[in-house]
Amino acid sequence: MKKIYGIIGDPVAHSLSPVMHNAAFEKLGMDAVYHAFRVSSEEVGDAIRGAKSLGISGLNVTIPLKEKALFFVDAEPIAKKIGAINTIDFSSGTPIGYNTDGIGSLRVLKETVGEIKGKNVLILGAGGAAKAISFYLDAKGAKITIANRTKERAVHLTSKLSNADFSGLGVELGKRIEASDILINATSVGMHPNEDVSLVSADMMHPDLVVFDIVYNPMETKLLREAKRAGVKKIVDGVKMLVYQGAASFRIWTKEEPPIEVMENAVRDALIREKF
């Protein structure tokens, strides 16, 4: 019997998770399919209960459901600590929630900069993805600064980290970037179709800054274009993050080793072909 997986979020039509996971299923000869399901914040509990009842094998969870979905699953300890999930496994009968965003981001940064300990990392956002990324980097000894539009959310997140501070946007943000080694956009700002928006401009960056945008659609966001204008040497798009967090979800669901290169190529080919 064909196994069904999917992603829930709102919006979700832009997601390339179906392209990525279906390419992996095909490569491994698995009788499985992955779909995108639009689910509002008000309906997330019903969606998770319905998925369990319908025999869906696993779900990914994306914006804006990562935090709310936590209350409808039996979350793993790290996911509970983060306060958000992006993966649900139904194989045991009880929906188990995981968070693989931090795993994905950590692998990307290790490939890009090597040692994380002691690095000054400025994270834009305080939502589900920002929480996961900050917890994993904090555990590796990075010095975290959370910059968020709503100060209260930034303060709340930093209070849970061992070595962190918070920042507003605007002029204060520019000063924080000057002292940063790594800048991570963990918001949806710049995501298709709002591609001409960035929280940071070229004049706020320095060439030795590592700029990492978790947005993958488009591959080159306004933030990354601004980084190029600033002469930034290390620029990372969101495709690797999508692939690595997706690969971690794939392992949880299937207990199989995911074909990472196939998954990445499928995403990049789709972005180029469709010209998102």
Long-range contact set of residues 229-232: C-beta below 8 Å, sequence gap at least 24: 229/202, 230/202, 230/203, 230/204, 230/205, 230/206, 231/207, 232/205, 232/206, 232/207
- In the numeric block, the tokens 């209350």 are attached to 71
Would you state the structure tokens that stand for residue 189, as one six-digit string?
A: 């700002």
Alpha-carbon distance 143 to 122, whole Å? 8
Residues 6+ apart with CB under 8 A from 15: 7, 9, 36, 62
Selecting among 2, 3, 27, 66, the annotated active-site residue is 66
Would you state the structure tokens that stand for residue 195, as one six-digit string?
A: 């591609």
Told to judge if 175 belongs to the known catalytic residues of this protein, a careful annotator would answer no
Alpha-carbon distance 150 to 28, whole Å? 44
- List, by residue number, the catalytic residues: 66
